Amino acid sequence: MAGLGALCLVLPGRIAYGENELRWPTLAEVLDATEKPDSLGDLGNLGSLGSLDTIDIPETPDIPETPETLKTPHIPASPVIPDTSANTDSRIFLRHFYASLAEAGERKVRVLHYGDSQIEEDRMTMQIREALQKRYGGQGVGLMPLAQTIPTRTTRQELRMNGRFTAPQQGPKRYLVYGPKRDQRADGLYGIMGQVAVMNDSIVTGSETITAVCKPQTASAHYEQWKIFADSSVHYTTSGDTVHLQGRGAVYAISQESRTGVIVDNIPMRGCLGLVFNKIDSAQIASFCREEHVELIIMQFGGNAIPTNKNPGTIKGIVSGLREQVRYVRSCAPEASILFIGPSDMLTQEDGEWKTYPMVPYMDRLLRKMTMEEGVAYFSLYQWMGGSGSMKRWQESGLAGSDGVHFYRSGARKAGNAVADWMLEGMEN
pLDDT at 33 over 70: no
Label residue 32 by pLDDT band (50, 70, 90). very low
Higher pLDDT, 146 or 41: 146
What is the distance between the alpha carbons of residues 251 and 190, in angstroms, rounded to a whole number?
Answer: 9
Q: Are 254 and 144 in contact (CB under 8 A)?
A: yes
Same domain, 124 and 205: no
User: Are residue 158 and residue 94 in the same domain, yes or no?
Assistant: no
Instruction: Give the helix/strand (H/E) hosting 69.
Output: none
Contacts of 428 (CB under 8 A, 6+ apart): none
Question: CB 331: neighbour CB atoms within 10 A?
Answer: 12
**Which residue, 224, 257, 290, sits at the end of a domain?**
257
Q: Is residue 43 part of a domain?
A: no
Structural domain includes residue 13 = no
* pLDDT, the chain, mean: 85
How many CB atoms are closer than 10 A to CB 291? 10
Q: How far apart are CA 264 and CA 420, in angstroms?
A: 12
269/385 same-domain check: yes
Q: What is the mean pLDDT of residues 196-202?
A: 91
Give the separation between CA 196 and CA 288, rounded to whole angstroms: 15
**Domain check: are 295 and 401 in the same one?**
yes
Q: Mark whether 92 and 178 lie in a shared domain.
A: no
Distances (CA, A) of 351 to 23, 24, 355: 7, 7, 10
Mind spelling out the 3-state secondary structure of 347-409?
Answer: EEEECCEEEECCHHHHHHHHHHHHHHHHCCEEECHHHHHCCCCHHHHHHHCCCECCCCCCECH
Quickly state the pLDDT bin for 86 (edges 50, 70, 90): low
- Number of structural domains (the chain) is 2
Report yes or no on 221 lying in a domain: yes
Q: What is the DSSP letter of 103?
A: T
CATH number, domain of 94, equals: 3.40.50.1110
Containing 195, the helix (H) or strand (E) segment is: strand 195-198
pLDDT of residue 257: 97
Q: Which of 278, 282, 288 is nearest to 323 (CA)?
A: 278
Confidence of residue 223 (pLDDT cuts 50, 70, 90): very high
**Is residue 382 one of the residues assigned to a domain?**
yes
The domain boundary, picked from 257, 284, 310, lies at: 257
Give the type of residue at 382. Y
The total of other beta-carbon atoms located within 10 Å of residue 422's CB is 14
Question: Residues 294, 343: one domain?
Answer: yes
> How many Cβ atoms are within 10 Å of 18's Cβ, its own excluded?
5
Determine, yes or no, domain membership for 414. Answer: yes
Asked if 289 and 178 sit in the same domain, the reply is no
Mean pLDDT across 20-42: 49
Condensed to tens digits (0 to 9), the pLDDT of residues 159-195 reads 999 889 999 888 899 999 998 999 999 999 999 999 9
- The answer to whether residues 85 and 93 touch, using CB atoms and an 8 Å cutoff, is no
Q: Are residues 388 and 347 in the same domain?
A: yes
Cα 20–chain centre separation: 41
pLDDT at 60: 38
271 and 367 co-located in one domain: yes
Pair 325, 376: CB distance under 8 Å: no
**Does residue 179 fall inside a structural domain?**
yes
pLDDT tens profile 131-148: 999 999 999 999 999 988
CA separation for the pair 161, 205 (Å, rounded): 8
Does residue 311 form part of some domain? Answer: yes
Check residue 120 and give its pLDDT.
Answer: 95
Enclosing domain of residue 350: 74-138+260-429
CA–CA gap between residue 288 and residue 327 (Å, rounded): 17
- Taking residues 107-116, what's their average pLDDT? 98
Mean pLDDT of the 204-216 span: 92
Share of the chain above pLDDT 90, in %: 71
Which long-range CB contacts under 8 A does 20-25 form with residues at least 24 apart?
23/351, 23/352, 24/352, 25/352
The residue among 92 and 351 whose pLDDT is bigger is 92
In the three-class reduction of DSSP (H, G, I as helix; E, B as strand; rest coil), residue 157 is classed as strand
Check: CB of residue 359 under 8 Å from CB of residue 380.
no
Angle at 152 between CA 223 and CA 201, to 5 degrees: 90
Least confident of 34-48, 274-288, 292-306: 34-48
Q: How confident is the model at residue 112, as a pLDDT?
A: 98
Residue 49 has pLDDT above 80, yes or no: no
The answer to whether residues 314 and 371 belong to one domain is: yes
Q: Among 257, 278, 311, give the residue marking a domain's end.
A: 257
In the predicted model, what is the mean pLDDT of residues 399-405? 92
Look up residue 392 and give its amino acid.
K
pLDDT of residue 14: 64
**Same domain for 399 and 353:** yes
User: What confidence score (pLDDT) does residue 427 get?
Assistant: 87
350: β partners: 353
Q: What is the pLDDT of residue 165?
A: 92
| C-alpha to C-alpha distance for 398 and 80, rounded to whole angstroms | 32
Q: Reply yes or no on whether the pLDDT at 307 is more than 60.
A: yes
pLDDT tens-digit readout, 336-387: 999 999 999 999 988 888 899 999 999 999 999 999 999 999 999 999 999 9
Tell me the pLDDT band of 67, cut-offs 50, 70 and 90.
very low
| SS3 label, residue 24 | coil
Q: Of 65-69, 179-183, 297-301, 401-405, which one has max mean pLDDT?
A: 297-301
Q: Please report whether residue 10 resides in a domain.
A: no
Task: Examine the domain organization and report whether 82 and 154 are in the same domain.
Answer: no
